[in-house]
Amino acid sequence: MGIVNVTPDSFSDGSSHFSADEATQHALDLIAQGADMLDIGGESTRPGADAVSEEEELRRIIPVIRNLRDCGKPLSVDTFKPAVMQAALQAGADLINDIYALRMPGALDVVAAHPDCGVCLMHMQGEPKTMQTAPTYENVTDEVYRFLDERKQALISVGVSDSRICLDPGYGFGKTAQQNYQLLREQDRLSGLHSPLLIGLSRKSMIAAVTGRAPRERVAGSIAGALAAVNRGAAIIRVHDVAETADALKVWAAVEQGEINGS
């Protein structure tokens, strides 16, 4: 999953492709590099991020969705606002990627009313503005498991098919570096939820915690994290650096699964 941030303030690539035309071209470049799907976001959810109005978020992402809806790849929209979800799905989006796991009033109803869309439910302790202020768990993996299970069951209870749901443990969202790495070590326990896992740790501060690198210098560390996640059951890897990650996954597949193409 290639990341397309249509924002001026994302922690890693804010303002790099802020206009609709720039974001569209960036997305097409990611597809050429090997992205299987795209995740379009119009509001930064980095720690301490300021909120964006519904109108501004729509202004940023709807033209990009319309530009890309015939690109041949599934389009995910990273939003927690029900009105934005509704407009994005009407514009041609295929999946809602919600950091609040559809806890905002009306969000469940939007997804339930669109029987063909996918949805990703993510764990987050707190909210982006304050989530990194002393996050506390008795056992992070147990609590993430219980939360994702509860949210999945809430979605199923309103008629959403299990086959439409994927889950994200929320690396970096209300978790210390130590908690993130415990969760990654124990990620295979989440297979008990019986849903595909979507993992996003590309360029995050958990990478800096062990490398000391600035966001754009975290490619190698992010790839190492991605491979660790795949080894522990990840089905989708959400990344900034598509070409490099795709190459790493091809080598991993050749070793672990014997998948060698063209030779």
Q: In whole angstroms, what is the distance from residue 2 CA to residue 240 CA?
A: 6
pLDDT bucket at 14, cuts 50 / 70 / 90: very low
Active-site positions? 204, 238
Q: Is 218 part of any domain?
A: no
Residue 237, domain member (yes or no): no
Number of domains composing the chain:
1
Q: What is the CATH number of the domain that holds 154?
A: 3.20.20.20
- CA 227 to mean position of chain CA atoms: 16
Per-residue tokens: 206: 């958990």
Q: Is 219 within the bounds of a domain?
A: no
* Residue numbers of the domain that contains 195: 2-200
Q: Please indicate, yes or no, if residue 253 is contained in any of the structural domains.
A: no
Is residue 90 within 8 A of residue 139, CB to CB? The reply is: no
- For residue 151, being part of any structural domain is answered with yes
In a domain, 136, yes or no: yes
Radius of gyration of the chain (CA): 17
Chain centre distance of CA 53: 21
pLDDT tops 50 at residue 107:
yes
Task: Report if residue 170 sits inside a domain.
Answer: yes
The whole-angstrom separation of Cα 13 and Cα 221 is 17
Token couple for 203: 């360029």
CA distance 251 to 223: 12
Burial per residue of 70-94, b for 16 or more beta-carbon CB atoms within 10 angstroms, e otherwise? eeebebbbbbbbbbbbbbbbebbbb
pTM for this prediction: 0.93
For residues 6 and 16, give the distance between their C-alpha atoms in angstroms, rounded to a whole number: 9
- Domain assignment present for residue 233? The answer is no
Among 6-10, 50-54, 59-63, 257-261, the range with the most confident prediction by mean pLDDT is 59-63
